[in-house]
Amino acid sequence: MLNDLKHHDKEYNVLTVYGGVSIYDQTSELRRGVDIFVGTTGRVLDHMERGNLNFSNLKSLILDEADQMLNLGFKEDIDRILINIKKECTVIP
């Protein structure tokens, strides 16, 4: 859906990561660089643990359906992701 908003193919690079597909293909895409990164909690943690993510240039963070993630018991995982982002990022206080 985010790709549908582009004016041209090279305007920005979107990567969506989730389980059930090759983490190696996702890693290759991350190494090439992305402008917009979307991911499920579990797969984001997988990439963090592998050292594949660098949040130092992060400009915005959106937690879609955060209330649902919390209701489903993902608070600790969300906290781990946010703590990691806060350590690396100078933009988000």
pLDDT number for residue 4: 85
Query: Are 42 and 74 within 8 A, CB to CB?
Result: no
Tokens of 72: 């489903």
pTM of the entire predicted model: 0.84
Give the residue extent of every domain in the chain: 2-88
Spans of the chain, pLDDT less than 70: 90-93
* Nearest by Cα to 42 from 29, 27, 23, 55: 23
**Residue 68, number of CB atoms within 10 A of its CB:** 9
Indicate the class that CATH gives domain 2-88.
alpha beta
pLDDT number for residue 73: 92
pLDDT number for residue 91: 56
pLDDT number for residue 47: 95
**3-state DSSP call for residue 91?**
coil
Rounded CA separation 69/59 (Å) = 22
pLDDT number for residue 45: 94
